[in-house]
Structure 1
Amino acid sequence: MTATRDVPPEEQARHAARMARKKAARDRMMETKTAEKGLVIVHTGPGKGKSSSGFGMIMRCIAHQMPCAVVQFIKGAWDTGERRLLTTHFADLCQFHAMGEGFTWETQDRSRDIAAAEAGWQTAQALIRDPSIRMVLLDEINIALRYGYLDVQAVLDFLATEKPPMTHVVLTGRGAPEALVAAADLVTEMAMVKHPFRAGVKAQAGVEF
């Protein structure tokens, strides 16, 4: 066991005073944050963790007994850990729709990619319109938007006019269009610092999928 350092009384007093000031400032700030609304949330950027973060939010919804749904636009053929967990253990709370046919360099057929994206978007619209579903994760939809498989403005118009007031919609994937970033309530950009793939390490279960 690591020994704990005895804190001198004067240092403890300074620390307690700093924390008291910080708590008071935090409490004042929180008093102004009273609104609730359904958010449009974007996870983008070249770094790893965009889909993982979205699925983390889905698991939070499940923990709160909030009905939710996932529509996958690209990784439809993958047997991912998230898909296996949600469909086998939480199907009563989370609908899962794998609509993609793989990455564009695998299908090599733009018409098929567009058709798959459009089918995924039709499914997504129906789920988002249902006010009983509190969160809809549109996994990798940003890629479909970036390649022009879906019309960005049509997606934005739908979210602005037809999304129920308390429904959260999470859109993941690198290269999120500027218009989507501007319209979203919460945007996180994942940065690439280091990745084992560059050192010849393949995607691994439990880390990548």
Structure 2
Amino acid sequence: MVSQLKPVALTSPSSIARHPLLQTVEGTVQVFTAVHRSFFTNVMVQALRIADQGKAVLIVQFLKGGIHQGPDQPMQFGQNLDWIRGNMARCLHNPESISPSEKQAVNDLWSHTKSVVSLGRYGLIVLDELSLAVNHGIIPTQDVVDFLRQRPPQVDVILTGPAMPDALLAVADQVTEFRRNFLP
């Protein structure tokens, strides 16, 4: 047995009846930060759970390279999770050793991220090690603040990295700081 739904032709968008309780939930900005750089697994669990629930997820790793991926060649995990890194030969650790071509790769990735987010396809965006890209002077802080304020309203964003700039913390709806407590 086959069933098919037939769309109803509407004369104007104003003729659509909307229930007052069915409104778009506004997305949040979450920050995950720590002195150490080993908490990405916690963010990945959240991204995978959201993707498994059917929402499209984009993970952007700004300082990871080594696989010559770039914005034009995202890795796809299942049908709901895209993962992109900069098109560079190595991972960036030391700001003094970042070459002009590596800075350009990070900027290309940032430009690509802003353009695909503006299309509204993704429900969750993870911007991994964004604080380091900002603190290394590659991506301007104000550009990130503007991006967060101008994103489609339903998009959730997760920012990660150590030493998150105060301007980004001020925009966040939730800030999570991972600490290691050593018990005696």
TM-score, L = length of structure 1: 0.65
For residues 72 and 193 of structure 1, the distance between their equivalents in structure 2, rounded to whole angstroms, comes to 28
Q: The residue matched to 1:57 in structure 2 has which SS?
A: helix
- Report the counterpart of residue 94 of structure 1 in structure 2: 81
User: Gaps spanning 5+ residues in structure 2: where?
Assistant: 1-22, 68-73
Q: Structure 1 residue 103: deviation in Å?
A: 2.0
Larger strand share, 1 or 2: 2
Q: Over aligned residue pairs, what C-alpha RMSD do you find? A: 2.5
- Report the counterpart of residue 164 of structure 1 in structure 2: 152
In the TM superposition, what whole-angstrom CA distance separates every residue of 1:14-50 from its partner, at most 9, and x where no partner exists? Answer: xxxxxxxxxxxxxxxxxxxx99321111111214553
CA contact (8 A) 1:113 1:149 kept: no
- Report the counterpart of residue 176 of structure 2 in structure 1: 188
Q: Structure 1 residue 55: deviation in Å?
A: 1.1
1:192/1:46 Cα in 2 relative to 1: closer, same or farther (>3 Å)? farther
Q: Highest Rg: 1 or 2?
A: 1
- Give the letter for the 2:80 counterpart: L
- State the identity as a percent: 24
- Report the counterpart of residue 115 of structure 1 in structure 2: 104
For residues 91 and 157 of structure 2, the distance between their equivalents in structure 1, rounded to whole angstroms, comes to 22
Q: The residue matched to 2:158 in structure 1 has which SS?
A: strand
Q: The residue matched to 2:94 in structure 1 has which SS?
A: helix
Larger helix share, 1 or 2: 1
Which runs of structure 2 are paired with 1:61-76 in the superposition (5 Å)? 61-76=50-65
CA contact (8 A) 2:58 2:82 kept: yes
- Give the letter for the 1:180 counterpart: L
In the TM superposition, what whole-angstrom CA distance separates every residue of 1:59-101 from its partner, at most 9, and x where no partner exists? Answer: 11112111111111112227xxxxxxx94641x2111111164
